[in-house]
Every structure is written in C-alpha cells, then in structure tokens.
Amino acid sequence: MAKKKSPNKENAAAEELMRMLFDRMQSENNAEALNANVIIPFAAALEEICQARGYHLNIHGEKSNIVFSGDEADAEAIYRLVEDYLAAKDKGG
C-alpha cells in the first residue's frame, strides 16, 4: 500500500477515499471478487464521468496504468497491446 502521509486539510478527503478503497479491496478473498466488487464498479464510475466530460485519460501510477479512450475499439486495442507486452515480458522478451 502507499506510504502513510500525515493528513492535512488539502488531502484529507483523498486519503479517506484511498483508505476506504483499500479496506474494501483487502476484504475481498480472491481476484474474482476483487474485480467484481471493487474494480469493475470503480471503472464503471470512471467511464461514466470521463464519457460525460469528454475526457481521454492515460493515468500512469507508480506500478499501474489506467486508460480511458472513450471508444470500445480503442479499449480493445489498448488491452491487446498490454496483453502482448506482458506475454512477451513473461517469455523474457
């Protein structure tokens, strides 16, 4: 989990959300439940907001990425790119 930082007024709400998500994620017993009960609802909310506002996002985290293109064909292509990359990495390529 991310390092604990002392909360201040500016990031207290973000810290509270992160803690709530962490607790929900930690309570799931397996990847399928985590996906169904936390990740999919989070992604659905992100998609709705981004679509409504016309956002295109490519969020790069320290150890992850989240992409919203707003287009099903783009989402499939991006998924395949990532899958191909991970498969090649697993093979040592």
Is residue 31 situated within a structural domain? Answer: yes
Sign of CA pseudo-dihedral 79, 81, 85, 88:
positive
Average pLDDT over residues 28-45: 96
Please indicate, yes or no, whether residues 49 and 60 belong to a single structural domain of this protein: no
Domain count, the chain: 2
Q: Within a 10 A sphere around the Cβ of 11, how many other Cβ atoms? A: 12
Give pLDDT tens digits for 39-90.
Answer: 999 999 999 999 999 999 989 888 988 999 999 999 999 999 999 999 999 9
Is residue 81 situated within a structural domain? Answer: yes
Is residue 21 situated within a structural domain? Answer: yes
Backbone angles phi, psi at 60, to 5 degrees: -105, 115
State which residues form the domain around 78.
Answer: 56-93
Terminal CA-CA length for the chain:
29
Is residue 34 situated within a structural domain? Answer: yes
Please indicate, yes or no, whether residues 62 and 75 belong to a single structural domain of this protein: yes
> For residue 10, what pLDDT band results from cuts at 50, 70 and 90?
confident
